Structure 1
Amino acid sequence: MHRRIIVPGALAMAALLPAIPATAASFSPGAPGIGDPYYPAYGNGGYDVSHYDLRLKYQPATDRLEGTATILARTTQDLSRFNLDFLLDVSEVRVNGTKASFATAGEHELVITPKSPLRKGAPVTVVVRYSGVPSEKRAYGFTSWHRTPDGGVAANEPEAAWWWFPGNDHPLDKATYDVSVQVPDGSQAISNGTLQSSASRAGWTRWNWRSDKPQATYLATLAVGRFDLTTSTTDSGIPVVNAYSKDLGPHAGAARASVERTGEIADWLAGYFGPYPYNALGGYVPNTDTGYALETQTRPFYSPRQFANGSNTSLVVHELAHQWYGDLVSVTGWKEIWINEGFARYAQWLWSEHEGEGTAQELADHVYASHPANDPFWTVRPGDPGPEHQFDIAVYDRGALALQALRNEIGDEAFFAILKGWPRTYAHGNATVAEFRRYAEEVSGRPLAALFDTWLFQPSKPAAPAARAASLAPAAGTPVAPKSWKKIAATNDAHEHGRGRAHAH
């Protein structure tokens, strides 16, 4: 922070300057952050994006990316300048067709000053021309771009966009996408949504993908490499496109045996969460050595390492559950992460029941009994874990425990009505934990503040009376782990965030 020092002479000089017209004075810079307390510099203020059109060219041999991003937005204030979150090298910016000045600031801010200030409520078209080598760019000491032997991948949470397109990088500002990528013949470009077309010319193939439903920036993905693509259709009629690196080695069979069940699992999840919300589905497994999976919208990202011990449909269940909980209904701020991870973990517990490998209650009993009262596990508050614990295992397992406690408190009929009604009520929007509690109270007709406080916000193990009320009675010793436990736990152990924090997305 810089402190301005005003000397008396400067005050006298200011008095001689002509007064700034009121109209000009009403224009002010957009905030450099959207207001998230966990990540104050993420996202931006002053505008709302409706669509990203990304026209890219990528050379796998050198990891060089060239792009033109056309961003359609609307101002939310009288705007003198605004920021985009971005790391690559910018050569030109135009706002409403006219060249704008630009500069960089902080770790990842592109600051744009249009030739003329922008009125509140006005439509704005921003065109950014850029290039660079994503793997050479770091912010806050890390990179979210995964270099692979045959290309590169953009996938991470809570940030990945800065390495391949400029944007308003926060879940509060969702938009639709057109992603068009030119790559050398023999390589494939994978992104979200439906494949509109692919065509080859002069040694290059252009892949055109479209996401026609609102999508958060961290859920947009790009993977370039040598892939085998498979296509199918779910029983409910959704087209499925899966992609597997041609160089997965011994993990190839287990990866396919898991991800090829995507359509079946999505249809099964629809029975709990309501109709699948998008017109495209799939997953991709690039040749990357990172450890985590991510619920990139319509086409989750999986690391080969997750299939080192064989197939794992529970992992696929987790990432597909996010298509409803996290993608369709997104967090308003990153402290609300339980809305994503508690429900995706609970979907794995429901899948365990479906597969006859342990009921949700048995899994809840095992989690409760496995962690003694002095285990740091209980100090993490899933309802507001703090940025350093945002992806802690407690957010997942304590988060799912809270849902089992809710199920036992209000009964199956109300509980499953909530699971299905919540995504419908907040479809394509954002929500908070407090809003979920109010919704659950409305559907169940029960006061639930104490239950939510006990299971989501207290930094301690719920006492035996609370556990018994939730049918989580402490047993003598630790209950035998349900058969599914190893596969569910594997979705934790194999995930590492780009900054080194262990978690499952």
Structure 2
Amino acid sequence: MRYERRSVALLVALVSALACTPADQPPPSTGPTAAALSDARAGAAGIGDADFPNDGNGGYDVAHYGISIDYTPADKRLSGITTITAAATQDLSSFNLDLTGYDVSGVTVDDEAATFSRQGQELTVRPARPIADDDRFTVRVSYAGTPQPVRNSANLGTYGFIPTRDGAFVTAEPNGAKTWFPSNDHPADKATFDFAITVPAGLTALANGELAGRPTTASGRTTWRWREKQPMATYLATATLGTFELREGRTAAGIPLLAAVDPAFRSSLDKVYTVSGEVTDYWATVFGPYPFGSTGGVVDDFATGYALENQTKPMYGGFAPDEAIIAHELAHQWFGDSLSIRRWKDLWLNEGFATYAEWLWAEHKGKGTAEATFQRNLARPADDPIWAYPPGRAKPDDLFNQSVYTRGAMALHALRKAVGDDTFFKLLRAWTAEHRYSNVTTEQFVALAEKMSGKDLGPLFDAWLHEPRRPA
């Protein structure tokens, strides 16, 4: 994920807001529908990630989000209608969606009005009739209000839907999707997306995937429609908008390419465009075919001090990225975006891989070897904090610790040394191919590495990922 320009650890926090069920709900029914509902069960309030028990929800799997929002920067007001297509994974009498803030004016399930209630980040929906296990259903939520991004009191910074001077900057890792649309807000439940973003005429609205038709303008407002056809984790969804200068084209290998920069960073436009295309094409030779329909990058004039690998459109907050950062964020299109973690504790599978990609990019450009970078880090003293934090178990209160990035990358280099270059690079391509568009765990990666190398790699991975000390 997030590439910090500062060397800081990051702490997860949640924003919660309280809303109420309409006071004029009808009394409980005693008919057949009520009996059927009583036989069903409420979906869990969390998806089952023990480190983040309130993130995501149980009882269903989302297939698609249709997100329609109207946003005016002058008053920072957002009105939205999100339509969710899902399949039940159990009999459901009710289920939750994640949403913070906003007044919810109505919810329907399969076009029938549903009752709903709010508590913290949970929007609990009770359909008019039960949903059976395996049934597909459609939820439509209408809501409006002022976006409230997550403002972390420690060192994570601000994330989610962030109002800016001329629009909004949207980066949602780890759990900020709920600040702008109702969702199953956890990477374990990926879905496809359609976006319709309406803004004052003259502004550009950027989202994931590719444009689904030309922008349309009426009554001084323009609607931009984007479509991401490949499954995506909710934290990677973006609706960044404002004044941007654009450059469009294709990489040398033919992948559609879009670079967008705030006018304050217009001097970086050509570099973001050119380097993003070069990096994307090179990673396709190392990691396997590019998994999405387009590539590029966005630089906004909002000083977050970090970048995020939003699917197809990495975001750079308030700085012109150098080649290493671009290489990092675009490597995430494979490691983190196409292959997404099932639980946050395995975050090294995103950040260790993307950090190691920086070392591989430097190697490719003749600016130093991965071995040299590995040895420099290995020379850190035994009391360096990086050794006390085992990166294979990312901590919920320090999720983006430097160890997850650097020591995670070192684990990969140690693996490369142990199995040899030929097996190592075949392993990377096999890993991305076997789990394309799905969710992964550390155990799966270790098993594949052992299968392809024919070696017992347990001691190596234990030393680098799980021991609170510097490996020998």
Q: If the length of structure 2 is used for normalisation, what is the TM-score?
A: 0.89
CA drift of 1:259 comes to 4.6
1:317 aligned residue: 327
Moved over 6 A (4+): 139-142
**Aligned mates of 1:254, 1:461 — CA distance in 2:** 40
Gaps of 5+ in 1: 1-16, 464-505
Matching residue within 450, 456, 462 for 1:447: 456
**Aligned mates of 1:456, 1:69 — CA distance in 2:** 40
Matching residue's letter, 2:245:
D
**Aligned mates of 2:46, 2:366 — CA distance in 1:** 47
- Give the 3-state SS of the residue equivalent to 1:103 in structure 2: strand
Tell me if 1:94 matches 2:104. no
More helix by share: 1
Larger Rg: 1
1:481 aligned residue: none
**Aligned mates of 2:122, 2:151 — CA distance in 1:** 10
Root-mean-square deviation (CA), in Å?
Answer: 1.8
CA drift of 1:143 comes to 5.3
Tell me if 1:222 matches 2:231. no
- Give the 3-state SS of the residue equivalent to 1:66 in structure 2: strand
Matching residue's letter, 2:261:
Y
1:234 aligned residue: 251
Contact 1:69/1:166 (8 A) holds in 2: yes
**Aligned mates of 1:286, 1:364 — CA distance in 2:** 33
Contact 1:46/1:82 (8 A) holds in 2: yes
Contact 1:380/1:389 (8 A) holds in 2: no
Matching residue within 183, 189, 205 for 1:167: 183
Gaps of 5+ in 2: 1-29
- Give the 3-state SS of the residue equivalent to 2:433 in structure 1: helix
Alignment of 1:329-408 (within 5 A): 329-369=339-379, 371-408=380-417
Tell me if 1:126 matches 2:136. no
- Give the 3-state SS of the residue equivalent to 1:387 in structure 2: coil
1:482 aligned residue: none
Tell me if 1:76 matches 2:89. yes
- Give the 3-state SS of the residue equivalent to 1:388 in structure 2: coil
In 2 relative to 1, CA 21–104 (structure 1 residues): closer, same or farther, beyond 3 Å?
closer
Q: If the length of structure 1 is used for normalisation, what is the TM-score?
A: 0.83
**Aligned mates of 2:401, 2:273 — CA distance in 1:** 25
Contact 2:65/2:193 (8 A) holds in 1: yes
CA drift of 1:114 comes to 0.8
- Give the 3-state SS of the residue equivalent to 1:293 in structure 2: strand
CA drift of 1:433 comes to 0.5
Question: How many corresponding residue pairs?
Answer: 436
In 2 relative to 1, CA 255–366 (structure 1 residues): closer, same or farther, beyond 3 Å?
farther
> RCO greater where, 1 or 2, for CA within 8 Å and sep 6 or more?
2
Matching residue's letter, 1:37:
A
More strand by share: 2
Matching residue within 412, 428, 432 for 2:421: 412
1:64 aligned residue: 77
Contact 1:259/1:313 (8 A) holds in 2: no
Contact 2:259/2:272 (8 A) holds in 1: no
**Aligned mates of 1:338, 1:21 — CA distance in 2:** 47
1:5 aligned residue: none
Contact 1:27/1:117 (8 A) holds in 2: yes
What do residues 295-351 of structure 1 show as CA deviations (whole Å, max 9, x unaligned)?
10011111123x3xxx51110000000000011111010001011011100100001
Contact 1:60/1:224 (8 A) holds in 2: no
